[in-house]
Amino acid sequence: MAFTINTQPNEKLLGGNGQEVLAWDQAIKSLGAGGTEGYADGQVIWQAPSGKCFGIQIHIPLQILDIGTSPYYQVKTVMNGDWDGEHRSDPYTFDKDIGFDIVVKAVADHATMHVTATINDLSS
């Protein structure tokens, strides 16, 4: 499976009305037993000044002839922890103890997904 990153976020989030983007494409190179992992994940994880982290992962399973599982996103709040949930079009709000108000919204169809995370600093 070819995986091309089109845009990726900076290591530090921009303040004010800053915006960061992760965008990628995937294309199947080969199919067969053991020939591919069968999915493409894109993820971002940031660590807040408090030491707490938050992350979003988009999981896009392989589909053959338009048959297969639709994409979903997962979240995490522990750097070495597991990804949680299978959110498709439902919003998710992180706990505010991270020090930020973070709301995730998604639009998904059978083969694509667009996720937006709005992050507001609670200290300002």
* pLDDT for position 35: 36
Task: Evaluate whether residue 33 is within a structural domain.
Answer: no
**pLDDT, tens digit, 9 for 90 and up, residues 68-109:** 778 888 999 887 788 888 888 889 999 998 888 889 998 887
Structural domain of 73: 38-121
Task: Evaluate whether residue 97 is within a structural domain.
Answer: yes
Task: Evaluate whether residue 78 is within a structural domain.
Answer: yes
Taking phi first (over 0 means left), then psi (-120 to 50 degrees means alpha), and beta for anything else, what does residue 34 get? Answer: left
Task: Evaluate whether residue 116 is within a structural domain.
Answer: yes
* pLDDT for position 30: 44
Task: Evaluate whether residue 85 is within a structural domain.
Answer: yes
**pLDDT, tens digit, 9 for 90 and up, residues 21-40:** 666 655 544 444 333 455 55
Task: Evaluate whether residue 115 is within a structural domain.
Answer: yes
CA torsion angle 5 29 74 72 (round to 10): 110
Task: Evaluate whether residue 42 is within a structural domain.
Answer: yes
Number of domains forming the structure of the chain? 1
* DSSP state string for 21-51: --EEEEE----STTT--SEEEEEEEEE-TTS
Q: What is the mean pLDDT of residues 38-55?
A: 77
